[in-house]
Amino acid sequence: MPAAAEPHAVAVLQTLDKVTARVRTIDVRVGTTVRFGTLLIRVDHCDKRPPEETPESTAFLEVAEQRPGEQPVLTFAGWMFASSPALNALEHPVYDVWVLDCKERIQSE
């Protein structure tokens, strides 16, 4: 029987600005929001399978776009999978965001 995925405190995300072709790796703590260009990226959950299982990291992200002088508009909310980034991808003309990994396992009591 497969072991359950374990919660982690940090999501490792890869970002791409399609205009400049700039790729960046960012660490985002669960429960926090970071800005990437006009995007506000919030990580609500990050799970990773234990090492003895098939590798997989999943994260629940909320992505909003905020242009100068405007309120944020939610453009994506859902689970992203490190092994299959295209399965549930952010659809945006300028930016791509995908999950690479989860780190800092949260110890269960």
**Whole-number Å distance between alpha carbons of 32 and 16:** 20
pLDDT the model gives residue 61: 96
pLDDT tens-digit profile of 36-75? Answer: 999 999 999 999 988 777 778 999 999 999 999 999 999 9
Which amino acid makes up residue 32?
Answer: T
> Residue 109: is its pLDDT beyond 70?
no
CA distances from 109 to 7, 86, 106 (A): 13, 35, 9
pLDDT band at 80 (very low <50, low <70, confident <90, very high): very high
Which amino acid makes up residue 84?
Answer: S
Strand positions, DSSP E, 1-109: 6-17, 22-29, 33-36, 39-48, 57-65, 73-81, 95-105
**Whole-number Å distance between alpha carbons of 50 and 76:** 28
Question: What is the token pair recorded at 68?
Answer: 């100068």
pTM: 0.87
